Structure 1
Amino acid sequence: MHFDLADLRLFIHIGESPSLTQGARRAHLSPAAASARIKALEAQLDTRLLYRDSRGVELTPAGHTLLTHARLVMRQVDYLKAEFTQFGGDSAGHIRIFANTTAVTEFLPEVLAGFLAQRPGVTVDLQERLSRDIVRGVLDGSTDMGIIAGPVEASGLQVMHFSTDRLVLIVPAGHELASRRQVTLKQTLAYQHIGLHDGSTLLTFLRDQVERMGETLALRIQLSGFEAICRMVEAGVGIGIIPESSASRHSHTMNLVTIALDEPWAERERSILVRELEALPGTVRALIKTLMPGK
C-alpha cells in the first residue's frame, strides 16, 4: 500500500475544514481535483472516509482514524525537513503550540519574543485551547507541544514540569473581603465575578469547581485578558480569580488587594507536554530549553 504525501496533506486540510472546497483551497487545488484525489484514496483503502452532503463534509470513523495517522506522518515529515535545514540546527522551522490561557496571554509572548528575535527563520502557530484539547492535540500530532496548568492525565505523553503558580482572589481596596488573609471559593460566590471569555481554560476550570459544589458563578462581565480583569476589579465592578503572577505584576500599577485561595487546587504546576522529546526537531527542543533553562 502506497500513500502519496500530497494526498495525506490534502486529507488533513479537508478534515480540518468545514467543506471540501475550503480544504481544497488550502491545498491549492480545485474542488474537482481534490474530490478525485480523495475518491482515489478511498478506493486504495477500500473504505469511505467522508460523508458528503449539501452542507459540507464530515469524517467517517475511518476518516477520523486516517486523520490521526496522517497528522503524525506529516508532522514527522516536517520534522525531517526541519532537521536537515541548515544541518539540523534550531535556526529555522515551524512550531505549533497549544497552550492554556495564562501561557498565551501572560508569559509566552515575552519568551517567544526573545526566542524568535534570535531565530529569523522560525515561525510559530500559538493557539489557546482547553486542557483536554491540549492533551488530545499532542497525542494525535496536531501540535508539537502543549503547555498546561494543574493536574495532567496524559498517558503516553512526556510531562515536564517547569514552574509553579497559584490562583488568587483579587478585590478592590476597601472591599469587605480585603482584610481576609485567605478565602474559599464558596465564600467568593456571594459576590459578582469578573471573568475571562468563554472557552478560556481558567473560566472553564472555575466553572467546573463551582458546579461540583452545586453552586453558580455569577459573572458580571467577561474579558479577554488579566489586565482588563484587574482594571475592572480596581474600579469596583466585581472581584476576580487570576494567577498570582499576574496579580503581582498588575498590583504595582493598580490599587488591588490579593487574597490567598484556601483550595487544594489553587497551586498549579505548569507543564510542557510532548509525545517524545528526542524525536522533536531542534527548533522545538530549543524552545523547550528556553522555557526550562535550569533543567
Structure 2
Amino acid sequence: MHFDLADLRLFIHIAESPSLTQGAKRAFLSPAAASARIKALESQLGSRLLYRDNRGVDLTPAGQRLLQHARLIMRQVEYLKNEFTAYGADAAGHIRIFANTTAVTEFLPEVLAGFLAQRPGVTVDLQERLSRDIVRGVLDGSSDLGIIAGPVNASGLQVLHFSTDRLVLAVPRNHPLSTLKHVKLKDTLRYQHVGLHEGSTLLSFLREQVEHLGETLSLRIQVSSFEAVCRMVETGVGIGVIPESAAKRHSRTMDLTIIELDEEWAIRERSMLVRDLDALPGCVRALIDTLLPASGAEPPSNTPT
C-alpha cells in the first residue's frame, strides 16, 4: 500500500476545515481535484473517510483513525526536515505545546524566552488546554509536548515528572479565615471566590472538586491570570485558590494571607507528556532538558504509562 504525502496533507486540511472546498483551498487545489484525490484515497484504503453534505464534511470512524496516523506521519516528516537544517539538530524546528494554566501563565514564558533567544530557528505554538485535551493532543500527534498537573491516566504516553506544587487559598489580611493555618475546601465555599477565566484548567479542576462535595462554587469575578486573582483578593473582592508558587511570589508585593488547603488533591505533581522521547526532534528534546534543570527535577526515567 503506497501513501502520497500530498494526499495525507490534503486529508488533514479537509478534516480541519469546515468543508472540502476550504480544505482544497488550503492545499492549493481545486475542489474537483481534491475530491478526486480523496476518492482515490478511499478506494485504496477500502473505507469511506468522509460524510459530505451541504453543511460541510464530517469524518467517519475510519477517517478519524486516518487523521490520527496522518498527523503523526506529517509531524515526523517535519521532524526529519528540521534535523537537517543549517541551524543544527536542536536549533531549528517548530514545537507545539499544550499546557495547563499554571504552565502557560507562570513558568513557561520565562523558560521559553531564554530557550528561544538561544535558538533563532525555533518557533513555538503554546496553547492553554484542559487536562483531557492535553493528553488527547499528545496521543493523536497534534501536540509535540504536553504539560499537565495532577495524576495522568493515558496508556501509550511517557510521563516525565519535573516538579511539585501545591494549591493554596489566598485571602485578604483581615478575612475571617486569615487566622487559620489549614482549611478544607468545603469551608471556603460560604465565601465568594475570585476565579480564572472559563476554559482554564484550574477552574475546571476546582469545579470538579466542588461538585464532588455536592456544593457550588460562587464566583464573584473571573480574571485572566494569577496576578489578577491576587490583586482582587488583596482588595477584598473575594478569596482565591491558586498554586503556592504563584501565591508566594505575589505575596512579596501584595498584602495577602496564604492558607494551606487540607486536601489530598492540593499537592500537584507537574509532568511533561510525550509519545516517544527518543523519536522527538532535537529542539523538543532540548526544551525538555531546559525545563528539567529549571525546575530542579531529576532526569526522567522515560517509562511509558
Q: Structure 2 length normalisation: TM-score? A: 0.93
Whole-Å separation in 1 of the counterparts to 2:113 and 2:195: 27
Whole-Å separation in 2 of the counterparts to 1:247 and 1:24: 49
Whole-Å separation in 2 of the counterparts to 1:31 and 1:240: 52
Matched, 1:25 2:25: yes
Matches within 5 A, 1:137-156: 137-156=137-156
Counterpart for residue 119 of structure 1: 119
Counterpart for residue 273 of structure 1: 273
In structure 2, stretches of 5+ residues that fail to align are 300-305
Counterpart for residue 77 of structure 2: 77
Amino acid at match of 1:163: S
Whole-Å separation in 1 of the counterparts to 2:45 and 2:241: 51
Counterpart for residue 176 of structure 1: 176
Counterpart for residue 219 of structure 2: 219
Whole-Å separation in 1 of the counterparts to 2:234 and 2:142: 40
Matches within 5 A, 1:160-171: 160-171=160-171
Amino acid at match of 2:271: S
Counterpart for residue 107 of structure 2: 107
Counterpart for residue 195 of structure 1: 195
Counterpart for residue 14 of structure 1: 14
Whole-Å separation in 1 of the counterparts to 2:24 and 2:2: 22
Counterpart for residue 261 of structure 1: 261
Amino acid at match of 1:176: P
Amino acid at match of 2:144: D
Change (3 A) 1:42 1:105: same
Whole-Å separation in 1 of the counterparts to 2:113 and 2:234: 29
Counterpart for residue 60 of structure 1: 60
Instruction: After superposing the two structures, state which structure 1 stretch, 40-49 or 159-168, moved more.
Output: 40-49
In the TM superposition, residue 93 of structure 1 has moved relative to its aligned partner by 0.5
| Kept in 1: contact 2:87–2:121 (CA 8 A) | no
- Aligned CA RMSD, in angstroms, stands at 1.4
In the TM superposition, residue 16 of structure 1 has moved relative to its aligned partner by 2.0
Aligned with 2:179: secondary structure?
coil
Whole-Å separation in 2 of the counterparts to 1:214 and 1:262: 18
Amino acid at match of 2:170: I
Instruction: After superposing the two structures, state which structure 1 stretch, 85-94 or 3-12, moved more.
Output: 85-94
1:33-92 alpha-carbon deviations (Å, 9 max, x no partner):
323322222222222111112222111111001001111111111111122223852111
Aligned with 1:164: secondary structure?
strand
In the TM superposition, residue 283 of structure 1 has moved relative to its aligned partner by 0.5
Change (3 A) 1:226 1:28: farther
Amino acid at match of 2:274: V
Amino acid at match of 1:60: T
| Kept in 1: contact 2:90–2:283 (CA 8 A) | yes
In the TM superposition, residue 2 of structure 1 has moved relative to its aligned partner by 1.2
1:242-291 alpha-carbon deviations (Å, 9 max, x no partner):
11111111111211111100000101011011111111111000000000
Whole-Å separation in 2 of the counterparts to 1:125 and 1:85: 20
The count of aligned residue pairs is 295
In the TM superposition, residue 106 of structure 1 has moved relative to its aligned partner by 0.8
Whole-Å separation in 2 of the counterparts to 1:114 and 1:24: 39
Aligned with 2:109: secondary structure?
helix
Whole-Å separation in 2 of the counterparts to 1:75 and 1:160: 21
Change (3 A) 1:115 1:190: same
Counterpart for residue 94 of structure 2: 94
Whole-Å separation in 2 of the counterparts to 1:32 and 1:226: 51
Q: Structure 1 length normalisation: TM-score? A: 0.96
In the TM superposition, residue 25 of structure 1 has moved relative to its aligned partner by 3.3
Amino acid at match of 2:122: V
In structure 1, stretches of 5+ residues that fail to align are none
| Kept in 1: contact 2:183–2:262 (CA 8 A) | yes
Aligned with 2:264: secondary structure?
coil
Whole-Å separation in 2 of the counterparts to 1:190 and 1:30: 60
Counterpart for residue 186 of structure 1: 186
Whole-Å separation in 1 of the counterparts to 2:50 and 2:38: 9
| Kept in 1: contact 2:134–2:146 (CA 8 A) | yes
Counterpart for residue 43 of structure 1: 43
| Kept in 1: contact 2:226–2:242 (CA 8 A) | yes
Aligned with 1:292: secondary structure?
helix
Amino acid at match of 2:251: S
Counterpart for residue 250 of structure 1: 250
